[in-house]
């Protein structure tokens, strides 16, 4: 058993089985109480007890993160771990299935996740529930659910707090050159994000130009391959922060995300699409390319989902595209921690299919 298992925020499987995590989620003022519990996976392994704990975990409204410090490839707690939202384990444990995420310090990372959920409980809970509920939904239905959840959080106090801390920002200047370049040679279409001065931030101009370019491949089945890459120091730095909170209303924001965004189109051409990534890929910078049938990245590429810290969730399709590559459990870790994931780990998890020294140059040579 971990030394911290008796501390606040921790549950033994017996307490989980007895309903401790099912106590009221809200206080009398509608505020979230204990959004996340850490579940000790090093304790006794009575099969009956673990079965009851597993059933309780599957119906729990709170986020449940398992923690083990044991060095083993599999164990009696594995079925319980798969019912949780995530299980943290030492790097040298392979585990059984994608519910396990390796880390040199499972207990330290567990504390980090507990703190993140406590700081933004509404966003964290919406994220965890969405990942569970959309796991087996169709991609269009899951994208709708993500967008509705995102719009709800746009109206929440956690996002408002982030906006207040950020302070007012001027809207980004208009692009002086095409925001997206599209070049077709025979059956290949190369699409390049082209606002390097803003690190290819996924703002309105980039989004609209990307959608226009992708519609060529959607409507023309003689386009046999689509290469998606980015100009400048990184593929895409995520949503343009200067545009956050500028939608005229939350309903309009939902329809823009679902019907004017790139996620649905990328999914439709996934079997013909290869994304080639480099630099710091943040937010939409990994949410969108994760739809691709093949993802190639430079070995120094990093990936990060910072939205929970802003009182939001990934909103460019990331709760749909990323879990279908790495599972809902590791997606939760990536989004709730907000920490960068390196390219070798991304490849081991399946977020990336191949590491290449010059993915953009390779795109130039092949298209």
Pairing of strands 180-185, 188-193: antiparallel
Which residues lie closer than 8 Å to 221 by C-beta, 6 or more apart?
none
1, pLDDT greater than 60? no
Tokens (6 digits) for 341:
């994931």
pLDDT given at position 40: 95
Alpha carbon distance 209, 260 (integer Å): 11
CATH dotted code for 138-366: 3.90.226.10
- Contact assessment for residue 271 and residue 294, using Cβ atoms and an 8 Å cutoff: no
Residue percentage of the chain with pLDDT more than 70: 93
Confidence of residue 213 (pLDDT cuts 50, 70, 90): very high
pLDDT for res 6: 54
pLDDT in tens, 75-132: 778 899 999 999 999 875 444 468 889 888 999 999 999 999 999 999 999 999 999 9
Mean pLDDT of 188-198: 96
Helix (H, G, I), strand (E, B), or coil: what is residue 267? Answer: helix
d(CA 196, CA 187) in angstroms, rounded, equals 27
Cα 20 versus chain centre, distance: 28
What tokens were used for 204? 């309105």
> Does the pLDDT at position 161 exceed 60?
yes
Residue 193 has pLDDT above 90, yes or no: yes
Q: Where do the structural domains in the chain lie, given as residue ranges?
A: 10-119, 138-366
- The reported pTM is 0.92
pLDDT at 97: 64
Nearest to 70, CA basis, from 96, 84, 99, 91: 91
pLDDT at 240: 85
Count Cβ atoms within 10 A of the Cβ of residue 161 and give its class: 0-12 exposed, 13-18 middle, 19 or more buried. Answer: middle
Q: Which of 69-73, 246-250, 325-329 has the highest average model confidence (pLDDT)?
A: 325-329
- CA 184 vs. chain centroid, Å, equals 31
Least confident interval from 169-178, 185-194, 235-244: 169-178
35 burial type by CB count under 10 A (0-12 exposed, 13-18 middle, 19+ buried): buried
36 pLDDT above the threshold of 50: yes
pLDDT for 238-290, tens place per residue? 998 888 877 889 999 899 998 889 999 999 999 999 999 999 999 999 999 99
CA 44 → CA 1, 13, 191, distances in Å? Answer: 8, 8, 55
Which pLDDT tens digit goes with each residue over 225-238?
999 999 999 999 99
pLDDT at residue 42 is higher than 70: yes
pLDDT in tens, 328-367: 999 999 999 999 999 999 999 999 999 999 776 554 444 4
161 CA to centre of own chain:
22
């Amino acid at each position: 058993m971990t030394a911290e298992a008796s501390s606040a925020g921790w549950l033994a499987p017996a307490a989980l089985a007895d309903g401790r995590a099912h106590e009221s989620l809200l206080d009398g003022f509608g505020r979230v109480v204990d959004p996340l519990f850490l579940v000790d996976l090093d304790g006794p392994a009575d099969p009956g007890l673990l079965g009851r704990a597993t059933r309780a975990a599957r119906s729990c409204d709170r986020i449940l993160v398992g923690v083990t410090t044991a060095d083993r490839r599999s164990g009696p707690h594995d079925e319980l771990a798969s019912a949780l939202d995530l299980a943290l384990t030492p790097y040298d444990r392979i585990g059984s299935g994608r519910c396990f995420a390796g880390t040199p310090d499972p207990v330290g990372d567990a504390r980090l996740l507990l703190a993140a959920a406590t700081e933004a409980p509404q966003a964290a809970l919406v994220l965890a529930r969405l990942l569970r509920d959309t796991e087996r939904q169709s991609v269009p239905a899951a994208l709708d659910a993500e967008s509705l959840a995102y719009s709800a959080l746009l109206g929440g106090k956690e996002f408002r707090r982030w906006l207040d801390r950020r302070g007012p920002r001027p809207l980004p200047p208009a692009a002086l050159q095409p925001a997206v370049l599209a070049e077709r040679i025979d059956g290949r279409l190369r699409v390049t994000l082209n606002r390097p001065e803003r690190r290819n931030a996924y703002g309105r101009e980039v989004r609209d130009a990307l959608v226009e370019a992708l519609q060529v491949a959607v409507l023309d089945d003689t386009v046999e391959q689509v290469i998606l890459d980015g100009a400048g120091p990184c593929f895409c730095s995520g949503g343009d922060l200067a545009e956050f909170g500028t939608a005229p209303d939350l309903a309009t924001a939902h329809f823009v995300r679902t019907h004017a965004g790139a996620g649905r189109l990328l999914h439709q051409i996934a079997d013909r699409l290869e994304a080639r990534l480099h630099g710091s890929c943040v937010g939409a910078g990994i949410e969108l390319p994760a739809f691709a049938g093949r993802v190639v990245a430079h070995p120094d590429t990093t990936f990060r989902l910072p939205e929970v810290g802003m009182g939001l969730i990934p909103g460019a399709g990331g709760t749909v595209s990323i879990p279908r590559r790495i599972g809902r459990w590791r997606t939760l870790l990536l989004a709730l921690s907000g920490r960068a994931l390196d390219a070798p780990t991304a490849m081991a998890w399946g977020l990336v299919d191949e590491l290449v020294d010059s993915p953009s140059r390779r795109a130039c040579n092949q298209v």
